[in-house]
Structure 1
Amino acid sequence: MRTLVAVLIGLVAGFFAGLVVDQIIGVVGLLTSGDPGGFRFLPVVLAAVGAVVAVVVDRQRQHRSAPPRR
């Protein structure tokens, strides 16, 4: 359940980060060349990357918080 929550948070955070980065690229492209550039699938790709990173971070935190084995 904890991993599922981490995946959902990673998906949402990655998607919004992708939207922000795509808009920044578009504005910079518009200011420099007059053509609004951007990457069409950047929010989707960053959502997937965010989900993977969230799972990796969650696993590392679980590993660190586990009691030591004897």
Structure 2
Amino acid sequence: RCPAKKCVALIHYEIDPEKCVGCTACARNCPVECISGERRKPHVIDQARCIKCGRCFQVCRFDAVLRL
């Protein structure tokens, strides 16, 4: 566990389905294309493929991407 949420090996990103509006901003900016979902529907991050770069967290305007 990393309380500062800076240790890449100890954090992961998830999308809150209640906040996600399906704008596709996270999916379009993901360098490894591990985010899937239809437009206007909640998206999902494939944890096995995610490189934990944080780009999805940075571009989400709806605070739907959570850094855990």
Q: Normalised by the size of structure 1, how large is the TM-score?
A: 0.25
Higher strand share: 2
Q: Normalised by the size of structure 2, how large is the TM-score?
A: 0.25
User: Which of structures 1 and 2 has the bigger CA Rg?
Assistant: 1
